[in-house]
Amino acid sequence: MMKKLLAIAAVALSGCTTIHFDNGANPTMGQTTEKWHHNAVLALIEVSDPVNLESECAGKEWSSVQTELTFLNGFVSGFVNAIAPVWYPKTVTVNCK
């Protein structure tokens, strides 16, 4: 019972974070892709491959990249991490010119 309460409290009190990178002073919006990026063991080990901007933008220039811990990322990982701190997903959004 206590573990369930702690898991609910951890999810409810967890904050969302965002890191945003712009390529140039006035980024333009074009093609947008979004995917989950996975880390493990207290987010110390990167499980997913790094985002390949050239591949994501099909050879075009990238406009912006955003890495975000969304509510859904925190909610899902909260249940998994209630058992053991093993999985820390984030959502990566790439905008191409």
Residue 87, strand partner residues: 40
Q: pLDDT value at position 95?
A: 93
Alpha-carbon distance of 96 to 92, in angstroms, equals 13
In three-state secondary structure terms, 84 is coil
Rounded to an integer, the average pLDDT of 7-12 is: 63
**For residues 27 and 65, what is the distance between their CA atoms, to the nearest angstrom?**
10
Would you state the pLDDT for residue 43? 83
In the structure, what pLDDT confidence band is assigned to residue 10 with cuts at 50, 70 and 90? low
Q: What share of the chain has pLDDT > 90, as a percent?
A: 39
Q: What residue spans define the domains of the chain?
A: 2-96
Q: pLDDT digits over 34-70, tens only?
A: 999 999 988 889 999 999 999 999 888 899 999 999 8
pLDDT of residue 89: 93
Q: Three-state SS for 15?
A: coil
> Under DSSP, is residue 80 helix (H, G, I), strand (E, B) or coil?
helix
Band of pLDDT at residue 3, cut at 50, 70 and 90: confident
